């Protein structure tokens, strides 16, 4: 899940489980449980995941959302969200 850092002044966070999570241009891509904690403590707020009307692709390996068939994070193959079936859902993101 993507969260925005108020003011964009944070370079990243050190998480005990996930290690260093870097921010780019005031936005961090963090696991859902970390995002819930950051939002609950008013440290961050949810970011828009994609521009309105853009469908994009989802990586079948790391669940990264992007706009290309090749994943920009892990290099895996990506599919359109409507092409995913109930039995072939993307894997949960592993800690980085």
CA-to-CA distance for 92 and 85, rounded, in angstroms?
15
Look up the domain containing 38 and give its range: 2-46
How far lies 40's CA from each of 26, 53, 91, in Å?
Answer: 18, 28, 26
**Average pLDDT by stretches of 10, the chain with 96 residues:** 80 88 85 88 75 68 85 88 63 52
Q: Are residues 9 and 35 in the same domain?
A: yes
CA-to-CA distance for 34 and 94, rounded, in angstroms?
13
CA-to-CA distance for 51 and 62, rounded, in angstroms?
21
Q: Are residues 7 and 27 in the same domain?
A: yes
pTM of the model: 0.46
Q: Are residues 40 and 27 in the same domain?
A: yes
Tokens representing 75?
A: 């290099």
């Amino acid at each position: 899940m993507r969260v925005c850092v108020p003011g964009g002044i944070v370079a990243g966070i050190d998480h005990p489980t996930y290690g260093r999570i870097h921010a780019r241009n005031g936005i961090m891509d963090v696991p859902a449980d970390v995002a819930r904690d950051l939002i609950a403590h008013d440290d961050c707020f949810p970011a828009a995941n994609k521009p309105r009307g853009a469908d994009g692709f989802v990586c079948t390996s790391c669940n990264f959302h992007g706009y290309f068939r090749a994943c920009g994070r892990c290099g895996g193959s990506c599919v359109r969200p409507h092409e995913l079936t109930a039995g072939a859902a993307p894997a949960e993101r592993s800690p980085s």
